[in-house]
Amino acid sequence: MNKKQKKMLIRILISAALLIALSFAPVTGIARFVLYLVPYLIIGYDILLKAFKGIKNRQMFDENFLMAVATVGAIAIALYEQSGDYTEAIAVMLFYQIGELFQSYAVGKSRRNISELMDIRPDYANVEQDGKLEKVDPDEVEIGSVIVVQPGEKVPIDGVILEGSSTLNTSALTGESIPREAAAGDEIISGCINMTGLLKVKTTKEFGESTVSRILDLVENASSRKSRSEEFISRFARIYTPAVCYAALALAFLPPLVRMIGMGLPADWDIWIYRALTFLVISCPCALVISIPLSFFAGIGGASNAGVLVKGSNYLETLSQTKIVVFDKTGTLTRGVFEVNGIHHNEMEDEKLIEYAALAESASSHPISRSIQKAYGKEIDRSRVTDIREISGNGVLAKVDGHEVAAGNDKLMERLGIEYIGCHLVGTIIHVAVDGTYAGHIVISDVLKPHSKEAVRELKTAGVQKTVMLTGDIRRVAEQVAGELGLDAVYSELLPADKVEKVEALLASKPEKEKLAFVGDGINDAPVLGRADIGIAMGAMGSDAAIEAADVVLMDDDPMKISKAIKISRKCLRIVYQNIVFAIGVKLICLLLGALGIANMWLAIFADVGVMIIAVLNAIRALFVKNL
């Protein structure tokens, strides 16, 4: 609890203790009224002040005004009847404040869950000057600077590790509890915690453009984008509150006047005013006004804890209606890096074939050459290689340990007159010949992410009706990837503008209530992310443009998080609708009972505070998303 909440708890305890004590006190008349006024003012002075300010500013139709009128009216009736029963007025205020305290604590818990992300904001960056580490403001560190991150410190700015290796805790960013290993040459993002070794990092971005800053900006602005449900509640409260105030006024005066003038019966002013005051307490729309935004706030908090950043509750609501998911391929469903994926038809050992190819390709910086060198996994001894000749569009010829080695495509083999064997797999095929004899071929391809297949399957389980892939890749590669993943449709060889056209066509063909989500990571995906009903970007390795254009950001690039995000949004919306139906339903029943004189002030307390507590408890469930 914070200081404000502790102060309120003390006020509640003191007021409750005085109320119990006074019920046993043998005091009557004005003395009894004055004594009961003490716990009433202790528990309700702030409500009375807010109500007075509301009247002064001509904005009186809120819960403070309703509480003030109802409780002051109840005290006035007790004075008029000379009953000395002031318990109800104090109890109404007491239970209302208990409900407010509970709601404050619930909102605080939800806010803390999101605010845990704020702990990733680094306070400083270590810059080495004259052999000593100097702490500077991260904003002052320029791109290309070398910073030092010691064990236990937060990484302040995105960069590339120059020296050192360590284990990184990325849970605050990605929701993953498993630490990640990082070494020289690896990219490192701000906000994660360096757990073991000392790292020297060359910064690749300014602090304001770093991952940590983008995340904090998304979180801080999320609550400003309201959903349709929240806007409905705001409009509802603006109409509903003055309506019930006028209804209570009518209930207090019209029946007595009709009885007195039209029917010649006693007016019974005290009975009808009491009913009107009870009606006012029942009518307070706290449960709706508090629980609906809290449900969305909790949903966003739960999603962020799972590594999914939703930029606003309006996007959470749209996400829940997603029926079509369209994927980019490279970097979204695949890793976006070339790797050796197979070695076939080789007469020598795999390791030896890779060694010959890696040494022959050692002078090239082409991604294909690098992937072969990476698969070799050892330091290249350039002294073993001579007479390197690169034939453009064909491949490489070189002497390795005195042997003539040729590594390249079909054209190179045909050029050298060497009979080669084709490959049934899709990818880049590097044929290798040693001393004029075919030695086998290496398959290099962009490999699928570990969870891509499972992610597509989970989307179907989550109620997504159609999965589509859009890619600039050649048709054969695209169709193989789509087949492996079990996608419903695939469109290949597309330019960025073509992707927008395809998404436009899909949007035009779907029912209006069903929403289309696009998942991408590259700069070329930004236009499509902006055009889709809901844009989902890969946040760890995705481009700044894609993250900026997206409505939802997956912080660890895991496609499994898409189905999780949809499930979180649907759980959140279920809770929102449950609270709306429950709160309005109970209110209408109790208002009817209050108007008929069946409901007393105690039922009014339940209709107001009890319903609010139940709705808030239900809203908090949106925070818990672990097992979705």
Write out the catalytic residue numbers: 328
SS3 273: helix
- Name residues whose C-beta falls within 8 Å of residue 88's C-beta, 6 or more positions apart in sequence: 74, 601, 602
For residues 21 and 32, give the distance between their C-alpha atoms in angstroms, rounded to a whole number: 12
Return the beta strands (E) in 204-358 as ranges: 308-310, 322-328, 334-344
φ, ψ for residue 576, nearest 5 deg = -60, -50
Number of helical H runs and strand E runs in the chain: 21, 22
Rounded CA-CA distance 562/44 in Å is: 47
* First-to-last C-alpha distance (Å) of the chain: 29
Residues with Cβ within 8 Å of 170's Cβ and at least 6 positions away in sequence, in order, are 176, 179, 180, 189, 191, 192, 556
Continuous segment of H or E residues that includes residue 149: strand 146-149
Cβ 318 vs Cβ 602: under 8 Å? no
Element (H, E) at 441: strand 437-448
User: Helix or strand or coil: residue 397?
Assistant: strand
Q: Rounded CA gap, 256 and 267, in Å?
A: 4
Q: Taking phi first (over 0 means left), then psi (-120 to 50 degrees means alpha), and beta for anything else, what does residue 184 get?
A: beta
The whole-angstrom separation of Cα 176 and Cα 178 is 6
Q: How far apart are CA 523 and CA 465, in angstroms?
A: 28
Q: What does the angle CA 193 – CA 184 – CA 542 come to, to the nearest 5 degrees?
A: 65
CB atoms within 10 A of CB 399: 16
**Rounded distance between C-alpha atoms, residue 484 and residue 474, angstroms:** 16
- Rounded Cα distance, 66 and 421, in Å: 85
Task: Quote the CA–CA distance of 354 and 371 in Å, as a whole number.
Answer: 11
Q: Locate tokens 């760890």: which residue?
A: 540
- CA pair distance 607, 590, nearest whole angstrom: 7
* Those residues with Cβ within 8 angstroms of residue 581's Cβ, 6 or more apart along the chain or in another chain: none
Q: How many residues does the chain have?
A: 628
Residue carrying structure tokens 């930029």: 311
Distance CA 503, CA 48 (A): 56
Whole-number Å distance between alpha carbons of 63 and 627: 37
Task: For residue 370, give Cα distances in angstroms to 337, 353, 363, 541.
Answer: 10, 15, 10, 20
User: Token pair 């949106």 is at which residue?
Assistant: 622
Residue 194, classed as helix, strand or coil, is strand
Q: Environment class of residue 81 by beta-carbon count within 10 Å: exposed (0-12), middle (13-18) or buried (19+)?
A: exposed
What is the full DSSP assignment across 154-167?
BP-S-EEEEE--EE
> Do 535 and 518 meet the contact criterion of CB atoms below 8 Å apart?
yes
